[in-house]
Each structure stands twice: as C-alpha cells, then as structure tokens.
Structure 1
Amino acid sequence: MKRDREERDRLIKTGVLVPDRDPDLLRFERDHLFHSASLAGGVVKDGNCSGPQSWRRENDGKTLKEVT
C-alpha cells in the first residue's frame, strides 16, 4: 500500500502537481514544502520511500542520513 498516495492526490487536486508532456509523469507546477523528506520522496516516487536514505546532495552525492 502506498502510504503517500493521499498527499499526492491532494497535490494533484490543488494544482501543485500537474500532468507532464509524458503521460506517465507528473511535474511540480510550483514549489511545495513538505514536512518530511520521506513524504516528499514518497510523493515523487509514487511509492513508499525513506527520505533520509534516498535524497542525495547534488554536490557530493551524500544522503541526508549521512549529513545529519
């Protein structure tokens, strides 16, 4: 069961996430602040996600878990 599906659906309903040119994808229409890295990852991935282990810094590739 996808625990973040409800939040994803809410973001679609409010226009934060909109259809992309690729019909299999959504894109952010505007910035959105999530209250946790895991919720953000779950919405982006459309599946369960451990944010601290999944999000990486662009400059050095370290995960949030490694830097916090």
Structure 2
Amino acid sequence: MKRDREERDRLVRQGVLVSDSDPDLYRFSRDHVFGSSSVAGGIVKDGNCSGPQSWRKPGDGKTLREAKHG
C-alpha cells in the first residue's frame, strides 16, 4: 500500500500536481515544500520511499543520510 497516496491526492486537489501530457504522470505546477524527505520521495516516486537514502546532492552525489553524518 502506498502510504503517501492521500498526500498526493491532496496536492492534486490543490493544483500543486497537475496532469502531464503522459496520462500516467503528474507534474508540479509550482514549488512545494514538504515536511519530510520521505514524503517528498514517495510523491515523486509514487511509492514508498526512504528520503534520506534516496535523495542525493547534485554536487557530490551523497545521499541526505551521508551528508548529515559526514
């Protein structure tokens, strides 16, 4: 079960996520700040996600977890 489905549906209702030209995808219509990197990852991935292990810094490729711990 996708734990972030309710949040995704809320973002669609608010117009933050809108239909893309590909009917299977959504895109962000504007910037949105998430309270958790895992929720953000789950929305983008459309599935459960560990944000600290999944998001990477563009400069050095370190995950959020690696960046936090050294």
**TM-score normalised over the length of structure 1:** 0.96
Q: Which runs of 4+ in 1 moved over 2 A?
A: none
Cα RMSD, aligned residues only? 0.6
Separation (CA, whole Å) in 1 of partners of 2:21 and 2:42: 22
TM-score, structure 2 normalization: 0.94
Report the secondary structure of 1:21's partner residue. Answer: coil
Q: Distance in 2 between matches of 1:58 and 1:40?
A: 17
Q: Give the Cα–Cα distance (whole angstroms) in 2 for the partners of residues 8 and 66 of structure 1.
A: 27
The percentage of counterpart residues that share the same residue type is: 74
Once residues 21 and 61 of structure 1 are traced to their aligned partners in structure 2, the CA distance between those partners, rounded to angstroms, is 30
Equivalent pairs, count: 68
Structure 2: gaps spanning 5 or more residues: none
Deviation at 1:43, TM superposition (A): 0.7
Q: Which position in structure 1 is the counterpart of 2:62?
A: 62
CA drift of 1:3 comes to 0.4
Aligned counterpart, 1:15: 15
Q: Deviation per CA, 1:14-66: give whole Å up to 9, x if none.
A: 00000111111110000000000000000111110000000001111110000
1:32 counterpart SS class: coil
Question: How far, CA to CA, are the matches of 1:47 and 1:40 in structure 2?
Answer: 10
